[in-house]
Homo-oligomer: A and B are copies of this chain.
């Protein structure tokens, strides 16, 4: 075993988004955010995928209400929003909207010291796209 393999694992926390139509969601995040697919498992019409936006990783999976995994479409709201920090929020926001996300509020300088805007994607997940000023 190499020293590297023996090193303690880095602690990470990543969101796993429940969606209807995981295959379409993968395509959307690729187009909207330039996401790369790091891992994808398709089984019986269901998708589990790990995506990376310039190294920022998240997961998505088809919802399975029987296991407590609800899409925002199924329970009419979302319980976790995603804070996407990028170099150029205006450009990333504009591309997401052009790709099919809806504006919630536009990118602007906020009194709490961030330049940030909010969208909701076609699967009902909310994203705040910004950066600290």
A residues at B contact (CB < 8 Å)? 8-18, 41, 53-59, 65, 68-72, 74-87, 104, 112, 120, 124-126, 128, 131
Contact = CB atoms under 8 A, between A and B. Distances in A.
A58 B11 CA distance: 12
A13 B17 CA distance: 12
Q: How many copies altogether?
A: 2
Given A14-B83, A15-B80, A16-B83, 14 more contacts: A9-B87, A11-B54, A11-B85, A12-B84, A12-B85, A18-B80, A18-B81, A68-B120, A70-B79, A75-B76, A78-B79, A78-B80, A79-B80, A79-B124
A14 B79 CA distance: 14
Contact of A71 (B17, B74, B79): B79
